[in-house]
Amino acid sequence: MTETVLLVGGGGREHAIARAVAGAADAELYACASNRNPGIASLAEGFEQVEETDAGAVVDYAESVGATLAAIGPESALNAGVADALDDAGVYAFGPREAEARIETDKAFQREFMAEHDVPGCPDFEVFEDAEAAADYIREYDGDLAIKPRGLTGGKGVRVIGDQITAEEGVDYVLESDYDAFVLEERLVGEEFTVQAFVANGEYRVSPAVQDHKRAYEGDEGPNTGGMGSYSDAAFALPFMTEDDYAAAVEVIDAVVEAMPDYKGILYGQFMLTAEGPKVVEFNARFGDPEAMNTLPVMETDFVELLVAAREGDELPELEFAGQATVCKYAVPEGYPTDPEAGAKVQIDEESAGDALLFYASVDARDDGVYTTTSRSFAVVGLADTVSEAEAIAEDALQRAGEEGLRVRHDIGTSDLVQRRIDHMREIRGN
Ligand code: AMP
Ligand code: GLY
């Protein structure tokens, strides 16, 4: 039977999901998002402009196209109960219901859940609803803390003492910002990596680890962003970690799935590889953006077959991966993220990207071409046997795109930067 799949969301991550659905053996794609992503629109039978958080409008569109499955990209939709509304309307949503999505959307819940269920890798933490009490805790704490507003902040609310700010600035931050609750937790030091698992019916399947680059500028300088680019290796582990480190991260995923038997969709673990092994920075209830663009292009298992198995309560298929390294680099508007300048014409499309894949993100498709907005514009992804070769493919595509009005972190995936990660881990582990 042909499945009719509704995709919710219009970023680079969702363009990667759209490509996976379009490449499935027997599926038709429809999509809805607040922005018209030209890459998704060209793969879909229909594209409707609706707010991703408007559960009623998403359900109306799902029913009007006869959707049999839905894939939800952004956390804002999960937080708004879009998966609940689709499920309740009889359209199986691959994405957790609002209650389970709290593992991402409520950082206090996330840590308390870990503590209650003995999920390994939980840093020491305290939750504060009173800003004065939080300030006192920061003043008295012996060591560095990460300060996290309880709710969603688009990746921009966390402040790390000893990294981005001083303890004094941390005190000012909790006293002066409008957030109603904070999680204060032990600062973790090491190298970050992501593991994304496909979860349904108490089962899960993992994918290769990915390393994202959150800082805006080369050399990991500047403000945090949604993610400037990412790489994965031909193996499941990254060059700076061992297979045991990867296995320890999977143990964490395992413990979460066991403690949350109704969870469905992607469970994204963000880990810090510390001297004591992987600790959990956070969980997300969806694919990462950019990480989806590393993972889905190398996944050889039919994505829609996986969703059907999830819906039917069948055993999930074992996942096959191509065994290739990937490098993803985002082109963002000049001035992003603090002072982004929109309106540059994008000089590249999927045909002219050479050997790289092109994924559109927040762009504006006009009659005479595609233009940048104030968010991340598009990403190029190279696939090859090694990270360096994949990096060269991504760079070749970026050269074709030209640099006018755009900024890129050219260092992502270079042997230099990967070597620095390896050296950093050696230093932390003292070997
Ligand atoms: P989040 O918004 O939770 O993704 O956090 C943004 C970034 O803050 C993470 O990618 C980490 O780099 C950093 N971060 C969060 N929690 C911690 C922690 N406990 N220790 C050190 N860095 C952290
Ligand atoms: N790449 C980080 C995120 O999707 O939250």
Q: ∠ CA 260-80-200 to the nearest 5 degrees?
A: 30
Give me the mean pLDDT over the 217-230 stretch.
Answer: 94
Task: Determine whether 358 is exposed, middle or buried from the number of CB atoms within 10 Å of its CB (0-12, 13-18, 19+).
Answer: buried
Kindly tell me if the per-residue pLDDT of 431 is higher than 80. no
What is the rounded CA–CA span in Å between residue 138 and residue 237? 35
The pLDDT of residue 403: 86
The pLDDT of residue 261: 96
Any idea which of 266-275, 300-309, 362-371 has the lowest mean pLDDT? Answer: 362-371
Give the number of the atom of ligand 2 that is nearest the alpha carbon of residue 288.
4
The pLDDT of residue 312: 98
What is the rounded CA–CA span in Å between residue 97 and residue 407? 36
Give the number of whichever ligand sits closest to the CA of residue 152.
1
What is the rounded CA–CA span in Å between residue 215 and residue 217? 6
The two three-digit tokens of residue 157, written as one number: 């609310």
Q: DSSP E strands: which ranges in 225-334?
A: 229-232, 265-274, 277-284, 325-333
In sequence order, the 6+-apart residues with CB closer than 8 A to the CB of 290 are 12, 13, 212, 227, 229, 230, 328, 330, 379
> What is the 37 CA–ligand 1 centroid distance (Å)?
29
> What is the 205 CA–ligand 2 centroid distance (Å)?
19
Strand partners, 204: 199
Alpha carbon nearest to ligand 2 atom 3, residue: 288
Residue 124 DSSP class: P
- The pLDDT tens digits of the residues spanning 24-78 come to 999 999 999 999 999 999 999 999 999 999 999 999 999 999 999 999 999 999 9
- pLDDT bucket at 215, cuts 50 / 70 / 90: very high
Alpha carbon nearest to ligand 2 atom 5, residue: 288
Residue tagged 């957790």 (tokens)? 96
> What is the 216 CA–ligand 2 centroid distance (Å)?
14
The pLDDT of residue 158: 92
Is 0.95 surpassed by the pTM of this model? yes
What is the rounded CA–CA span in Å between residue 182 and residue 129? 7
- pLDDT bucket at 134, cuts 50 / 70 / 90: very high
The answer as to CATH 2.40.33.20 being correct for domain 124-186 is no
The pLDDT of residue 114: 98
The two three-digit tokens of residue 129, written as one number: 């609803």
Give the number of the atom of ligand 1 that is nearest the alpha carbon of residue 153.
2
- pLDDT bucket at 95, cuts 50 / 70 / 90: very high
> What is the 158 CA–ligand 1 centroid distance (Å)?
6
Q: Residue 111: which H helix or E strand, with range?
A: helix 107-116
The pLDDT of residue 108: 97
- The pLDDT tens digits of the residues spanning 196-208 come to 999 999 999 999 9
Kindly tell me if the per-residue pLDDT of 92 is higher than 80. yes
Distance of CA 172 to the CA centre of its chain: 30
The two three-digit tokens of residue 405, written as one number: 């009005």
- The pLDDT tens digits of the residues spanning 153-178 come to 877 789 999 998 999 999 999 999 99
The pLDDT of residue 180: 92
The two three-digit tokens of residue 378, written as one number: 């598009």
What is the rounded CA–CA span in Å between residue 210 and residue 228? 13
What is the rounded CA–CA span in Å between residue 259 and residue 32? 32
The two three-digit tokens of residue 306, written as one number: 């996986």
> What is the 2 CA–ligand 2 centroid distance (Å)?
32
Q: DSSP E strands: which ranges in 115-202?
A: 125-128, 145-149, 159-160, 182-186, 191-200
Q: 3-95 in CATH: which number?
A: 3.40.50.20
Residue tagged 């999960």 (tokens)? 78
Q: Which of 110, 282, 283 to mutate to test the pocket of ligand 1 (most atoms within 8 A of CB)?
A: 282
Pocket of ligand 1 (CB under 6 A): 123, 146, 148, 155, 158, 160, 185, 187-188, 192, 214, 281-282
Q: Is the peptide bond preceding residue 337 cis, with omega within 30 degrees of 0? A: yes
Alpha carbon nearest to ligand 2 atom 2, residue: 288
Q: Which of 148, 153, 160, 173 to mutate to test the pocket of ligand 1 (most atoms within 8 A of CB)?
A: 160
Give me the mean pLDDT over the 371-399 stretch.
Answer: 97
Kindly tell me if the per-residue pLDDT of 273 is higher than 90. yes
Pocket of ligand 2 (CB under 6 A): 155, 212, 227, 284, 288-289, 291
The pLDDT of residue 388: 98
* CATH fold for domain 191-419: D-amino Acid Aminotransferase; Chain A, domain 1 (3.30.470)
- pLDDT bucket at 1, cuts 50 / 70 / 90: confident
The DSSP bridge pattern shows strands 229-232 and 325-333 to be antiparallel
**Share above pLDDT 90 across residues of the chain, in percent, rounded to a whole number:** 96
Q: DSSP E strands: which ranges in 50-177?
A: 69-72, 92-94, 125-128, 145-149, 159-160
Can you state the angle between helices 12-22 and 291-298, rounded to 10 degrees?
A: 10
The pLDDT of residue 70: 98
The pLDDT of residue 254: 98
- The pLDDT tens digits of the residues spanning 274-319 come to 999 999 999 999 999 999 999 999 999 999 999 999 999 999 999 9
Residue 233 phi, psi dihedral angles, 5° rounding: -100, 175
The pLDDT of residue 154: 76
> What is the 135 CA–ligand 1 centroid distance (Å)?
19
Reduced to 3 states, what is the DSSP secondary structure of residue 328?
strand
- The pLDDT tens digits of the residues spanning 371-380 come to 999 999 999 9
The pLDDT of residue 143: 94
Give the number of whichever ligand sits closest to the CA of residue 287.
2
In sequence order, the 6+-apart residues with CB closer than 8 A to the CB of 40 are 7, 10, 14, 15, 18, 31, 33, 47, 360
Alpha carbon nearest to ligand 2 atom 4, residue: 288
Taking every pair of Cα atoms in the chain, the longest distance, rounded to a whole number of angstroms, is 62
The pLDDT of residue 153: 87
CB atoms within 10 A of CB 45: 10
Which of 146, 164, 219 is CA-nearest to residue 414?
Answer: 219
Residue 35's Cβ-side half-sphere holds a number of Cα atoms within 13 Å equal to 24
> What is the 368 CA–ligand 2 centroid distance (Å)?
32
* Domain ranges within the chain, ordered by starting residue: 3-95, 124-186, 191-419
Which of 199, 181, 194 is CA-nearest to residue 97?
Answer: 199
What is the rounded CA–CA span in Å between residue 313 and residue 307? 10
The pLDDT of residue 290: 98
